[in-house]
Amino acid sequence: MRPLIEMRSIQKSFGGNIVLNGVDFEVLPGEVHALMGENGAGKSTLIKVLTGIYERDGGTIVVNGREVHYRHPKEAERDGIVVIHQELNVIPTLTVAENIFLGREPKIGRTGVIRYKEMEQQAASYLRRLGMDLDPRELAGRLSVGKQQMIEIARAISTNAKCLIMDEPTAALTEREIQALFSVIRTLTQQGVAIVYISHRMEEIFTICDRISVLRDGQFIGTKRVKETNFDEIVQMMVGRQIGERFPKRRVTIGEERLRVERLTKKGLFENVSFSVRAGEVLGVAGLMGSGRTEIMEAIFGARPFDEGDIYIDGRPVRIRSPRQAVEHGIAMITEDRKQKGLVLEMSVHENLTLPKLEQLATAGFIQSSKEWDVVLSLIHLLNIKASSPDLPVKALSGGNQQKVVFGKWLAMNPRILILDEPTRGVDVGAKKEIYEVINELAAQGVAIIMISSELPEVLGMSDRVMVVHEGKVQAILENDGLDQETIMRAATGGNR
Amino acid sequence: MMEAKRKWDVKKLGPLIGLFLLCIVLSILSDDFLTMDNWLNLLRQVSINALIAFGMTFVILTGGIDLSVGSVLALSSAITAGMMAQGINGFVAILVGLLAGMVMGVLNGVIITKGKVAPFIATLATMTAFRGLTLVYTDGRPITGFASDDIMFQMMGRGYFFGIPVPIILMLMVYIALYVVLKKTTFGRHTYAVGGNEEASRLSGLRVDRLKIYVYALTGTLSALAGLILTSRLNSAQPTAGTAYELDAIAAVVLGGTSLSGGRGWIFGTLVGALIIGVLNNGLNLLNVSSFYQQVIKGAVILLAVLLDRRKEA
């Protein structure tokens, strides 16, 4: 079969810094081809070279048997190569059909008047073809992230796309939405559309992809058929070394009860939530997105009001009405959305690291520079944060290092209770393991840890007990002793334990 | 990384370079421009806008805006002048005037944080209301001839200290104090953090609402101080004083390179920005450019500065 896209010996450097060095990458029609590598390995640069955002320094790109030199993503789109970005480009105030046909609306002559009926019918036919359950007249903003993503896919298909490049397509999707996405992907590949699938999630890649290509430090390491490889081999290709066990073991004696929550209720979000966490324990929290798991934790952290219920720390009842009071009680929360809620992106690494405890590093409001730097340097060392300077804006760091800064920010205040919401989202394999080690180290120091995660292997690998939340209620609290994914999934989808 | 840092420094110097070029051109075009007398006069004029703009810098750094500064200036001036006209001691009247400015700022801050009203709308409303109160209080007439014998009040606008006009000294003192606050204190760091990412700051345990109220209170107080200088110089409190001053203050902040979306900026830039506007006003007057054209030129300069800033960012 003739490849749809053939990239050979691609070279690219930025100011003497070689980012891509002799990379080969080919995509066949109708295949799902995973592009893997740690953050900074060159995946997104390769895609940008392909779609004409960057000009290549060397190598050839052949599309449909013809050598191409795109200068703009629009030119790549004309050849059917469309990128579906992580940050969706859907306009929330327009309808599904309006979004699909944005800029290409069928009009009456040259008047600019849109033929709505025709547009909606066409949109409906695309949606049907892709097996998507969407009303063309629904406002996009009312839809979940997963369905908004469907709009983008439908838009691409309506322009006759031959190859969809998906960058972390499942990062914000619920389990159910992921299944829906996979079924759309299967429909597309049957129609000969190729998918380039960029993701850190191994399980998904082994479920949906046909082949995997791995990049490391700008080098092409190899392409493997999924059927002929395994998890460990791919990880080794990505990190260039044996990473050892995926979830490091910890040896901790679990201590006294730290946090107890009783009958916590917020109408419409969650009700009657009761659980406890002990010192040195990791309580995993599983549940579908939208199950209320994040909202429960936000309520405990004082970031969201609740109607009823009691919170006890070390057996004593506490009133927490703001994040500030939570911090004063030794609670820290690492939010799932680090860019919106975790970091001040414009500020430097060092300013972010000391933000929650700045007042303790100041005398009469004046920041004690030497004290501050002691804290900053020890955190950078402790967490192995890779930044060329602590004065670098945090937005210049990779996802994994940004997440380490978020961790460092809270470690600085020596929390006694740590709530983690998706602590490894968008973080590559190597950095993931470092984060797991930090979590274990904290547990060993006697911190009580609550970890929300959508990745079931992570929940199983890290937790002592697992709390499963379904539609705002605690469906089950399970000892992690021979526990498997199916049991958790069954509870998370409302089945009995 | 080193390169990134250097680039940033050059970018920061932009406004300063602009100011120097402006001064060079004006000193060639006008013999009077580079005289000591002219500069003391220029700086004294600049001080009023600069004081307001210093406060505005904090407000804009938090991602807000304060349109009410001109009205705060007028109402607090009228209060001080009114008290002195009734024979109340100048020192007390000054303190009450400053306090009035602070209270108006606190009110802005409370409406914005507790009432969750967008700063633009909140201060647009108080701008109108404070102006109305000024007109009510003064009955629409200027308050004059009240301070002929109060040394302290006269000093504020007309006094000299070692040959330097008092308004300039006040401006520099406030500048140094606020520079230190922004650079060295938790209050300064928190100001940047709130403007950079309010939600992340709140979740980091910062008292976001309180910080914002302080910031608007600071701007209110500085507007009142600017008003007292103006009133002292004119020896009269005009009910329409300070009209459209918010625009010059915002222009100074923006010219100095502070981002209107918050979180990025510096107060030195604002000082330079205020000087650019002052030098431009002064130079165009010296060159006898009609006041109508002056506005056109000022607008063009602001636009040019912002466009140059954009290009550097791209």
Rounded to whole angstroms, how far apart are CA atoms A280 and A273? 22
Q: Which helix (H) or strand (E) holds A17?
A: strand A17-27
pTM to 2 decimal places: 0.80
Binned at pLDDT 50, 70 and 90, residue B312 comes out as low
Contact B249, B65 (CB under 8 A): no
Contact A190, A30 (CB under 8 A): yes
Grouping H, G, I as helix, E, B as strand and the rest as coil, residue A101 is: coil
Residues in a beta bridge with A195: A32, A164
Chain B window 46-75: which residues touch A at a Cβ cutoff of 8 Å? none
- pLDDT for the residue B3: 38
Cα distances (angstroms) measured from residue A250 to each of A302, A343, A460, B234: 30, 29, 14, 76
Q: How far is B70 from chain A (nearest CA, A)?
A: 30
In A137-269, beta strands by DSSP E: 163-167, 194-198, 211-216, 219-225, 257-266
A403 at interface of B, judged by CB pairs closer than 8 A? no
Contact A430, A462 (CB under 8 A): no
CB atoms within 10 A of CB B129: 15
* Planar angle of CA B158, B234, B60, nearest 5 degrees: 85
A362 at interface of B, judged by CB pairs closer than 8 A? yes
Task: Tell whether the model's pLDDT for residue B311 goes beyond 80.
Answer: no
Q: Which helix (H) or strand (E) holds A316?
A: strand A316-318
Cα distances (angstroms) measured from residue A164 to each of A4, A177, A193: 12, 18, 8
Binned at pLDDT 50, 70 and 90, residue B2 comes out as very low
Q: Say if the Cβ atoms of B197 and A344 lie within 8 Å.
A: yes
Rounded to whole angstroms, how far apart are CA atoms A24 and A11? 10
> What DSSP letter does each residue of A221-252 carry, written as one string?
EEEEEGGG--HHHHHHHHHSS----SS-----
Rg, C-alpha atoms of chain B: 20
Contact A443, A451 (CB under 8 A): no
Contact A148, A155 (CB under 8 A): no
Contact B188, B182 (CB under 8 A): yes
Tell me: the pLDDT tens digits for B40-98? Answer: 999 999 999 999 999 999 999 999 999 999 999 999 999 999 999 998 888 999 999 99
- pLDDT for the residue B48: 96
**What type of residue sits at position B87?**
G
Six token digits for residue A390:
């602590």
The complex scores an ipTM of 0.83
Rg, C-alpha atoms of chain A: 24
What average pLDDT does the segment B197-212 reach?
A: 93
B11 at interface of A, judged by CB pairs closer than 8 A? no
Parallel, antiparallel, or unpaired: how do β-strands A270-278 and A282-286 relate? Answer: unpaired
Q: Say if the Cβ atoms of B5 and A343 lie within 8 Å.
A: no
Average of per-residue pLDDT values in chain B: 91
A394: nearest CA in chain B?
B196
A395: nearest CA in chain B?
B196
A366 at interface of B, judged by CB pairs closer than 8 A? yes
- pLDDT for the residue A178: 87
Chain B window 234-293: which residues touch A at a Cβ cutoff of 8 Å? 263-264
Domain A257-492 fold is: Rossmann fold (3.40.50)
Determine which of A132-141, B55-64, B277-286, B300-309 has the lowest per-residue pLDDT on average. B300-309
Parallel, antiparallel, or unpaired: how do β-strands A308-313 and A58-63 relate? Answer: unpaired
Task: Tell whether the model's pLDDT for residue B148 goes beyond 80.
Answer: no
Q: Say if the Cβ atoms of B200 and A366 lie within 8 Å.
A: no
Option in A324, A367, A389 nearest B189 (CB): A367
Task: Tell whether the model's pLDDT for residue B172 goes beyond 80.
Answer: yes
Option in A333, A335, A346 nearest B263 (CB): A346
Rounded to whole angstroms, how far apart are CA atoms A300 and A320? 7
Rounded to whole angstroms, how far apart are CA atoms A25 and A59? 11
- pLDDT for the residue B12: 72
Q: Say if the Cβ atoms of A347 and B263 lie within 8 Å.
A: yes
**What type of residue sits at position A129?**
R
Q: How far is B191 from chain A (nearest CA, A)?
A: 11
Option in A343, A389, A409 nearest B197 (CB): A343
List the strands of the sheet with A219-225, edge to edge: A66-67, A58-63, A5-14, A17-27, A219-225, A211-216, A32-36, A194-198, A163-167, A81-84
Tell me: the pLDDT tens digits for B225-238? Answer: 999 999 999 989 99
Task: Tell whether the model's pLDDT for residue B310 goes beyond 70.
Answer: no
- pLDDT for the residue A160: 87
State the residue for tokens 């222009």: B251
A334: nearest CA in chain B?
B203
Contact B70, B51 (CB under 8 A): no
B303 at interface of A, judged by CB pairs closer than 8 A? no
A396: nearest CA in chain B?
B1
pLDDT one digit per residue (tens) for chain A, 497 residues:
789 999 999 999 887 778 899 999 999 999 999 999 877 788 888 999 999 999 999 999 999 999 999 998 889 989 999 998 877 788 989 999 999 998 888 888 888 888 999 999 999 998 988 888 889 999 998 888 888 888 988 988 888 899 999 988 887 777 788 888 999 999 999 999 999 999 878 888 999 999 999 998 888 999 999 999 988 888 888 877 666 667 887 778 888 999 999 999 999 899 999 999 999 999 999 987 778 899 999 999 999 999 999 999 999 999 999 999 999 999 999 988 888 888 999 899 999 999 998 988 999 999 999 999 999 999 999 888 888 889 999 988 877 889 899 999 998 888 999 999 999 887 777 788 888 999 999 999 999 999 999 888 889 889 999 999 988 999 999 998 888 888 887 888 776 54
- pLDDT for the residue B304: 85
> Would you say the CATH fold of A257-492 matches that of A5-239?
yes
Name chain A contacts of B198, Cβ cutoff 8 Å.
none
Q: Which helix (H) or strand (E) holds B164?
A: strand B164-165
Domain A5-239 fold is: Rossmann fold (3.40.50)
Using CA atoms of B256, B262, B263, B265 in order, give the dihedral in degrees to the nearest 10: 0
Of the residues B113, B201, B204, the best mutation for testing chain A's interface (the one with the most A CB atoms within 10 Å of its CB) is B204
Q: Say if the Cβ atoms of B192 and A355 lie within 8 Å.
A: no
Name chain B contacts of A344, Cβ cutoff 8 Å.
192-193, 196-197, 200-201, 263
CATH of domain B32-313: 1.10.3470
Contact A300, A326 (CB under 8 A): yes
Contact A93, A148 (CB under 8 A): no
State the residue for tokens 């929360």: A333
In A335-397, beta strands by DSSP E: 362-363, 366-367
10 Å CB burial of residue A95 (0-12, 13-18, 19+) is buried
User: What's B307's DSSP letter?
Assistant: H
Contact A131, A140 (CB under 8 A): no
Grouping H, G, I as helix, E, B as strand and the rest as coil, residue B251 is: helix
> Sign of the CA dihedral A198, A204, A208, A211?
positive
B205: nearest CA in chain A?
A324
Option in A341, A346, A396 nearest B203 (CB): A341
Option in B185, B193, B206 nearest A347 (CB): B193
Of the residues A322, A344, A410, the best mutation for testing chain B's interface (the one with the most B CB atoms within 10 Å of its CB) is A344
B205 at interface of A, judged by CB pairs closer than 8 A? yes
Domains of chain A, by residue range, sit at: 5-239, 257-492
Name chain A contacts of B192, Cβ cutoff 8 Å.
344, 346-347, 351
Please, which residues have CB within 8 angstroms of residue A420's CB and are 6 or more apart in sequence? A333, A334, A439, A449, A450, A451, A452, A453
Six token digits for residue B63:
């991602």
Q: Which helix (H) or strand (E) holds A43?
A: helix A43-50
- pLDDT for the residue A243: 60
Looking at per-residue pLDDT, the higher value among A419 and B306 belongs to A419
Name chain B contacts of A396, Cβ cutoff 8 Å.
4
Q: Say if the Cβ atoms of B193 and A367 lie within 8 Å.
A: no
Name chain A contacts of B199, Cβ cutoff 8 Å.
340-341
